[in-house]
């Protein structure tokens, strides 16, 4: 407003046409709170919420299994014998050693590997 007075504008004109600027409120910065997601368990969830509150941790409760998640499965489960990229352990029949392997092939080939390792016609050097 001082700028207008210095430039010769009358006071009543300034008061009528230029609203007084409200003092800006300082933005209150909310303390950064951490969030934790826990499954909802009756009575226990309320206690944990109260315990975490003084530590500035917000507890977000998520539901346990819903009827939708139980009934709707978008993909069929892969059969055990069709799984690939499995890690397996085969114990030697002749000594205490064992073989740990990983296969990119389906797991039904695991039985073939087991018989090859434990057969008398095949010998492995340790």
What is the pLDDT, as a whole number, of residue 49? 92
What is the pLDDT, as a whole number, of residue 23? 62
How many helices (H) does the chain have, and how many strands (E)?
Answer: 5, 4
Residue range 42-95, pLDDT digits in tens: 889 999 999 999 988 999 988 887 788 778 877 777 777 777 778 878 888 888
Residue range 20-46, pLDDT digits in tens: 665 666 555 556 678 999 988 888 999
Half-sphere exposure of 81 (CA within 13 A, CB side): 4
> Distance (Å, rounded) from C-alpha 11 to C-alpha 5?
7
Percent of the chain, pLDDT > 70? 71
């Amino acid at each position: 407003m001082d700028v207008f007075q210095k430039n010769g504008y009358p006071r009543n004109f300034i008061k009528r046409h230029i609203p007084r600027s409200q003092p800006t409120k300082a933005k209150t910065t909310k303390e950064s709170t951490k969030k934790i997601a826990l499954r909802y368990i009756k009575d226990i969830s309320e206690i944990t919420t109260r315990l975490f509150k003084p530590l500035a941790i917000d507890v977000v409760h998520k539901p346990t299994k819903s009827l939708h998640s139980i009934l709707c499965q978008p993909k069929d489960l892969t059969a055990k014998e069709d799984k690939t990229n499995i890690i397996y352990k085969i114990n030697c029949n002749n000594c205490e050693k064992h073989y740990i392997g990983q296969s990119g092939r389906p797991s039904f080939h695991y039985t073939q590997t087991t018989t090859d390792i434990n057969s008398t016609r095949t010998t492995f050097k340790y």
